[in-house]
Structure 1
Amino acid sequence: MTNKKMDPVALIRKEIESLEAKVEQLRDRLMVDANKAIDKAKAQAERAREKLKAEQAKLGELQKKAKAKMDSRIQKQVDRAHSAVESAKELELDAKAVMIMAKNQLAELKGDYQRAKALAKAAQDAAKSFDSKTKAAPKKAAAKKAPAKKPAAKKVAAKKAPAKKAPAKKAAPKKAAAKKAAPKQ
């Protein structure tokens, strides 16, 4: 009966030991499960890290390609801008050259105009002096002829010949003088 009448402390100790064994088993199971979960989480984290690295590498490559394309586009735009500036400079230089040539031509035209104006004035003056001399010469000749006709009727043939020759000789030098004066000016 001593078996049946076990000490209540011993029963409690047995109960505690069995509970401790169960707790130890549960703890071991939980530790194993926790280790499995940790290993699984580590594996997932490693896969995620690898995937992140791969994505970052892809992103880096895409950024490099985009930058290269952007750089080439920007470079093309810069080159176009430089060529436009060079074209504008060339156009400006051409315009300046045309302006200088136009100024030179204008100066030449002014000189030609002044020479032509001077020649025209000289020709007009020569024509006026020629007209005034030719108009004055017939009046003098008419005045000379009228008295020459009155006094001598016998010597008419002899006087007419020198009278005609003299005005012809005088007119010829006037024309030559007018022609010589025009080219000089």
Structure 2
Amino acid sequence: MATRKSSDPIAAIRKEIDALESKLETARKNLVKDAEKAVNQAKSQVEKARKRIADEQKRLKELQAKAKKELNSRLEQQINRAKEALDKAKDLEQDARAVLSLTKEDFDAVKTEYNRAIAVGKARLAARKKSATKKAPAKKKAPAKKAAAKKAPAKKKAAPKKKAPAKKAAAKKAPAKKKAPAKKKAAAKAKA
């Protein structure tokens, strides 16, 4: 029986080794399962992360497109405002040019009228001087006639007075004819 007892401890050790090996195998299997779970979880997390990245990229692209559209609409509004301001500025410039043109025309008209008035004034002065030189000899002759008229009776004095104004009227008409050519000459000078 001693052999049985001695063989029993070896069998017991073998049993224990088998039990430990099965436990070790179970632990290994569990470890592999846990590792597989961890790998699967990591894979799913990677997939989730990839999906999230794709979603974020898509969202970013949408936001960028939206921002670009908003910027484009804002830029278009600014461009339209700038175009309107430019058109208004052009209109103001055209109005200013029209006013300037009208002002120049008015100034030119006033200037020509002024020059014409000066020419007419000079012509009148020249005509007066000419008529004064013509009247001066007549005045010298008239005092001689008046002296003779003083010797005459009162009735005769009245008669020469009537004739004298008639001569003055005739004298005024003659220079008036001469003034017309002077006006034409002044107008010709003003045009030149």
- Which TM-score tier does this pair reach, normalised by the shorter chain? 0.7 to 0.9
Q: CA RMSD in A?
A: 3.4
Q: For residues 70 and 52 of structure 1, what CA distance do their matches in structure 2 show?
A: 26
Q: Which residue of 1 aligns with 2:186?
A: none
Q: For residues 179 and 31 of structure 1, what CA distance do their matches in structure 2 show?
A: 138
1:23-42 correspondence runs (5 A): 23-42=24-43
User: 1:115 is aligned with what amino acid?
Assistant: R
Q: For residues 183 and 6 of structure 1, what CA distance do their matches in structure 2 show?
A: 169
Q: For residues 164 and 44 of structure 2, what CA distance do their matches in structure 1 show?
A: 138
1:63-142 correspondence runs (5 A): 63-130=64-131, 137-142=138-143
Range with greater deviation from structure 2 (68-77 or 48-57): 48-57
- TM-score normalised per structure 2: 0.72
| CA shift for structure 1 position 70 | 1.3
| CA shift for structure 1 position 7 | 11
| CA shift for structure 1 position 74 | 0.9
| CA shift for structure 1 position 107 | 1.9
- TM-score normalised per structure 1: 0.74
Q: For residues 4 and 148 of structure 2, what CA distance do their matches in structure 1 show?
A: 205
Q: Which residue of 2 aligns with 1:176?
A: 173
Q: For residues 98 and 2 of structure 1, what CA distance do their matches in structure 2 show?
A: 139
User: 1:35 is aligned with what amino acid?
Assistant: E
| CA shift for structure 1 position 132 | 5.7
Which structure shows the bigger proportion of residues in helix conformation? Answer: 2
User: 2:62 is aligned with what amino acid?
Assistant: E
5+ long unaligned stretches in structure 2 = 184-192
Greater relative contact order (CA < 8 Å, ≥ 6 in sequence): 2
Q: Which residue of 1 aligns with 2:160?
A: 163
Secondary structure at the aligned position of 1:37 is classed as helix
User: 1:36 is aligned with what amino acid?
Assistant: K
Q: For residues 149 and 36 of structure 1, what CA distance do their matches in structure 2 show?
A: 160
Range with greater deviation from structure 2 (30-39 or 169-178): 169-178
* Cα distance change on mapping 1:6 and 1:118 into 2, 3 Å: same
Q: For residues 140 and 7 of structure 2, what CA distance do their matches in structure 1 show?
A: 189
Q: For residues 76 and 52 of structure 1, what CA distance do their matches in structure 2 show?
A: 35
Identity %: 46
Q: For residues 86 and 157 of structure 1, what CA distance do their matches in structure 2 show?
A: 89
Q: For residues 130 and 115 of structure 1, what CA distance do their matches in structure 2 show?
A: 22
User: 1:172 is aligned with what amino acid?
Assistant: A
| CA shift for structure 1 position 66 | 1.9
| CA shift for structure 1 position 110 | 1.3
| CA shift for structure 1 position 183 | 4.6
Contact in 1 for aligned 2:150/2:157 (Cα 8 Å): no
5+ long unaligned stretches in structure 1 = none
